[in-house]
Amino acid sequence: MSHLSRRDLFKRIFAPVRSTESHDEEKVADSGHYRILEEQCLAYLNTFCSNCKERCPEPGAIVVELGKPVINSEICTNCGICYEVCPAPINAIAIDH
């Protein structure tokens, strides 16, 4: 039996329906570089959060410095997991094209 958090449950219930067109747009977006929006990130707003670092499959791609996550673009593979798991009310991970 897998554990499903309340946050994951609500994300699944209220997730927007994605069409084939938006899926193609996501592939284009994933070719960009990811960065953290400090004004949206819970860790930068003095709340503990390390979801992006904990869930990142690439060791060293996201490091926590002084309690705040930093994305190392040289190691990041642009998989998008950090974007998907960000719990901030407004997603704190941005994709630069």
Q: Provide the number of structural domains found in the chain.
A: 1
Rounded to an integer, the average pLDDT of 28-41 is 77
Instruction: Give the β-pairing of 93-96 and 33-36.
Output: antiparallel
- Higher pLDDT: 56 or 22? It is 56
3-state secondary structure of 64: strand
Residue 11 has pLDDT above 90, yes or no: no
Instruction: Give pLDDT, residue 66.
Output: 93
95 belongs to a structural domain: yes
Nearest to 49 by CA among 31, 32, 36: 36
82 belongs to a structural domain: yes
49 belongs to a structural domain: yes
- Higher pLDDT: 53 or 7? It is 53
Instruction: Give pLDDT, residue 95.
Output: 87
Write the burial class of residue 16 (CB in 10 Å: 0-12 exposed, 13-18 middle, 19+ buried): exposed
Q: One-letter amino acid identity for 14?
A: F
The number of beta carbons lying within 10 Å of the beta carbon of residue 41 is 20
Domain that holds residue 46: 41-97
Instruction: Give pLDDT, residue 2.
Output: 60
Instruction: Tell me how far apart the alpha carbons of residues 69 and 61 are, in angstroms, rounded to a whole number.
Output: 10
Instruction: Give pLDDT, residue 15.
Output: 56
